[in-house]
Amino acid sequence: MADNDLYMVYHGLLLPKIVHSEESLKYLENFQVKDDDVFAVTYPKSGTTWMQEILPPLLNGGDLTSVETIPNWDRAPWLEETRAALVLDKLPSPRAIVSHMHYHLMPPSFFKSKAKVIYVTRNPKDVIVSSFHFHQMASFLEDPGTFEEFTDKFLSGKVFFAKWTDHVKSWQKPELGDRIMYITYEEMLQDLRGVLSRILKFLGRELSAEALDRVVDHCTFKNMKTNKMSNYTLVPQEFMDNKKSPFLRKGIAGDWKNYFSPELDAKFTAVIQEEMKGSNIRFPWDEE
């Protein structure tokens, strides 16, 4: 059972009460999406903070001021969180907005708008390792227990934002046409500049080669880790204890191999494969 003191339930999703409330979800439901809004949608631990670093400079001609002076949660706010009502209406357009929402829980105005979406996926095995450490360092999340216990919760969807497979499948929406672009965390690791060029093209924007180089350099793991506006060290230790596990922890692909026994790997893979059956989505990690 999930801890009622820590989580609220919204349309079947467990949401941490520290940043979600009845009011924040009403705000989401009534939110007026603008045609030039750009959303980065992710299942938690798939590259949200990275996109909060990438999108603002791509949308404002390469200016790094906002990523150097404004915390990530105010620079590209979560649509569903309590900060949204305080900052989103004041953000200059085009706005970068992030969300962990499943597709059908987006506000009605989203479906009528032309707003674009960048959907970022990460190997669920690395997602769960990242999430396991996050649950250990964040006092507003349930104690994850052992890695095996946490895997069971993850696979049964008894974690914040529910099942990874449901989230990913919910955003496979051909009707969104050229409003949506799919990228993976792993592609960003392999060729950040290439992915940023693709994002610029998708958004119909351009940057000089030098400006793009500066953004790419700023968004490397090494540089983000030392950026106070993005590494969560501004959050009091009682809420996030970066000494237990830094929020920007390892920033690599394949760390799951250090946590999964062969048996756990077989079980995890079988459940994910079964639930993804018939979805026609192929990910780079499926071949591993």
Closest to ligand PPS by CB, 25 or 40: 40
CA gap 171, 189 in Å, rounded? 22
**Which among 22-30, 89-97, 250-258, 267-275 is the span making contact with ligand PPS, rule CB under 6 A?**
250-258
Please identify which residue in 24, 49, 99, 184 interacts with ligand PPS, judged by CB under 6 A: 49
Residues 6+ apart with CB under 8 A from 76: 40, 51, 52, 55, 56, 96, 97, 98
**Does residue number 77 form part of the binding site for ligand PPS (CB under 6 A)?**
no
**Buried b / exposed e across 253-273, counting CB within 10 Å, b at 16+?**
bebbeebbeeebeebbeebbe
20 assigned to active site: no
**Which among 7-15, 22-30, 215-223, 260-268 is the span making contact with ligand PPS, rule CB under 6 A?**
215-223
Q: In angstroms, what is the minimal distance from the CB of 202 to ligand PPS? A: 20
**Does residue number 130 form part of the binding site for ligand PPS (CB under 6 A)?**
yes
Q: In angstroms, what is the minimal distance from the CB of 250 to ligand PPS? A: 4
Which one of 100, 133, 135, 218 is the catalytic residue?
100
CA gap 140, 99 in Å, rounded? 19
Q: In angstroms, what is the minimal distance from the CB of 176 to ligand PPS? A: 21
Q: Which amino acid is at 145?
A: G
Closest to ligand PPS by CB, 31 or 160: 160
Q: β-pairing, 7-10 with 13-16?
A: antiparallel
**Does residue number 47 form part of the binding site for ligand PPS (CB under 6 A)?**
yes
| Helix runs in 31-146, H state only | 48-59, 65-69, 72-75, 83-87, 108-112, 124-137
CA gap 240, 236 in Å, rounded? 6
Please identify which residue in 40, 106, 216, 248 interacts with ligand PPS, judged by CB under 6 A: 248
Closest to ligand PPS by CB, 24 or 48: 48
- Give, as ranges, the residues between 131 and 160 that touch ligand PPS (CB under 6 A): 133-134
Closest to ligand PPS by CB, 36 or 187: 187
Q: Taking the CA of residue 234 as centre, how many other CA atoms within 13 Å lie in the half-sphere pointing to its CB?
A: 12
Q: In angstroms, what is the minimal distance from the CB of 98 to ligand PPS? A: 8
Please identify which residue in 147, 202, 221, 285 interacts with ligand PPS, judged by CB under 6 A: 221
- Cα of 87 vs its chain's centroid, Å: 19
CA gap 187, 120 in Å, rounded? 10
Supply the residues annotated as catalytic.
Answer: 100
